[in-house]
Amino acid sequence: MGGQKLPILDIFLLRPQAVLHACENRRAPLWISAFIILIGAIYGVLVALLQRSFGGELQGIPVIDIPFWVLTLGNILPGILITIMIHIGIMLVAWLMAKALGGPGELGLLYRAGGYLLPLGLPALPAVAFTVATTTTTAHAVGSTPILYQALAVCGALLFLAGLYQVFRVTQNLPSVRARFAVALFAAFSVSILSLA
């Protein structure tokens, strides 16, 4: 199993083989690191592009006067840190839900499997980047988040929750009904936390 290639298609097709790969492959931590960097980089580029297109000022400096590479790098680094924190948050909340429903917990397996869920959130990045770009610049006349971005965010959330179902099934050996309930608890907890932000 150690030499098996990353089943990227299985991740997006929500197959249990992707979770097995995350749990058993010795290179899984490298893939998780790559996912974190990739998502942080895409987030940073999207925020920088939106900030540049909105104009206004960023911390008192006109956005147009900030070199694009500085703007991009200044968003990529926080993006990577945010992705790391999200990954840890996913792992801890999934662990709580697994333990609540009688699963063994297994933090290490949830860390690995949770890392493989990160690419499923890619469709949500435009909506997140739009929100961040509008709140970090003084260009407040950009309006609300575009419908397409909102639809992509919903798609990303649903993909993530479907992937989480497979994580609970494989890593916790939960029966289907309990795995669905664990996902529902995870979603409810996450929504309640986001509503406080």
Joined tokens for residue 74: 């200044």
Separation CA 186–CA 180 (nearest Å)? 10
User: What does the pLDDT look like over 58-71, one tens digit per residue?
Assistant: 888 899 999 999 99
User: What does the pLDDT look like over 89-138, one tens digit per residue?
Assistant: 999 999 999 999 888 988 999 999 999 999 999 999 999 999 999 988 88
Predicted pLDDT at 137: 85
Residues 6+ apart with CB under 8 A from 197: none
User: What does the pLDDT look like over 18-49, one tens digit per residue?
Assistant: 999 999 999 999 999 999 999 999 999 999 99
Separation CA 110–CA 167 (nearest Å)? 8
- Domain range summary for the chain, segments of one domain joined by +: 8-196
Amino acid at 91: M
pTM, two decimal places: 0.89
DSSP 8-state secondary structure symbol assigned to residue 137: S
Calculate the alpha carbon distances from 94 to 19, 109, 117, 187 in Å: 14, 11, 12, 10
Predicted pLDDT at 4: 66
